[in-house]
Amino acid sequence: MQILAVLWRSGPSTARGVLATLPDGKQRAYTTVLSTMQVMEKKGLLRRSREGLTDFWRPAVTKSGVLGPFLRGLVANIFGGDPAVAMQHILEETDVQEADVKAIRKLLDAHKPESRNVVKMKGKGK
């Protein structure tokens, strides 16, 4: 997920470029990151193109295509299906600034849950 996050944020990059910008700051060997990216390519998550002697990597999947199912599973399996509990933990466990609270409040005000429920119910044959 961190590799995808780097590529979604920064665009096409070399394996060394990805290694240098992984968000957790852990020390990793170049070969570890490269091997992981090669496996991700085989699984259809990344694409590689060669420019001269350099390989550039890019995501083969969209952020929403990966994060949507991931977050739904996280809320369902870790937080008992309760998005409010998930949000409570996010707010308690991360460094949330006043600007973040304002942005979250704006998203909540704009959210229309009744329209999503109708779509979900239709999809389940109800």
Residue-wise pLDDT tens digits, 47-57: 999 999 999 99
Kindly state the tokens that stand for 9: 């944020």
Q: Quick one: pLDDT band at residue 42, thresholds 50, 70, 90?
A: very high
Residues in the chain: 126
Q: Where is pLDDT greater, at 105 or 126?
A: 105
- Decide if 13 contacts 48 (C-beta within 8 A): no
| Domains in the chain, CATH or no CATH each | 2-59 (1.10.10.10), 63-123 (no CATH)
Compute the distance between CA of residue 73 and CA of residue 120 in angstroms, rounded to an integer.
15
Angle at 105 between CA 86 and CA 65, to 5 degrees: 55
CB atoms closer than 10 angstroms to residue 58? 13
Q: Is the pLDDT of residue 31 over 90?
A: yes
**What is the identity of the amino acid at 65?**
G
What is the per-residue pLDDT for 112? 81
Q: Roughly what angle, to the nearest 10 degrees, separates helices 2-10 and 63-78?
A: 140
Q: Is the pLDDT of residue 9 over 70?
A: yes
Strand-pair partners of 49: 56
pTM to 2 decimal places: 0.71
Residue-wise pLDDT tens digits, 65-120: 999 999 999 999 999 999 999 999 999 999 999 999 999 999 999 988 765 554 44
